[in-house]
Amino acid sequence: MNRVEIEEKVTNFLIEDLEIDEAKISADARLKEDLGIDSLDFVDIVVIVEKNFGFKIKPEEMAGVDTYSKFCDYIETKVK
């Protein structure tokens, strides 16, 4: 899965599953402050990522992952 496909899938579930306004999504968008993703959303994101990318997020690996771009980076490292 290449970077474009990863971003497409992430953008898609942010819009479809988390109902985030597409206009707010950008590379530098902060997950909590700009996209409004709260701690309970992260519980759902674990499930969504497992379904879409076939691996389970480990909370300890998410330290410092606070923007859309960093989140896609994290997924990219896991699916390579």
Partner 1 sequence: MGRVVITGMGIWSCLGTDLETVKESLYNGKSGVGLEEERLTYGYQSALTGIVEKPQLKGLIDRHLRRGMSEEAEYAFMASRQAFDMAGVSQEYLDQNECGCIFGNDSSAKPVIEASRIMDEKHDTELLGQSFIFQAMNSTVNMNISTIFHLKGVNFTVSAACASGSHSIGLAYMLIKQGLQDMVLCGGAQETNFYSMASFDALGAFSGRMDQPAKASRPFDRDRDGLVPSGGAAALVLEDYDHAVARGANIIAEVVGYGFSSNGTAVISQPSDEGCMRAMQRAMKDAGVKASDIDYINAHATSTRQGDMYEAIALDKLFHGEHALISSTKGMTGHECWMAGASEVVYSVLMMTGGFVAPNINLENRDEYSQPLNLAEKTIETNIDVVLSNSFGFGGTNSALVLKKFKNE
Residues of this chain that interact with partner 1 (CB under 8 A) are 18-19, 36, 38, 40-41, 43-44, 46-47, 50, 56
Residue 73 contacts by C-beta under 8 Å, 6 or more apart in sequence?
65
Q: How far is the CB of 73 from partner 1 (least distance, A)?
A: 22
Q: How far is the CB of 19 from partner 1 (least distance, A)?
A: 5
* C-alpha span between 76 and 8 (Å, rounded): 12
Q: Please say if 38 is a catalytic residue.
A: yes
* C-alpha span between 10 and 65 (Å, rounded): 14
**Annotated active-site residue in 28, 38, 44, 66:** 38
Residues labelled catalytic: 38
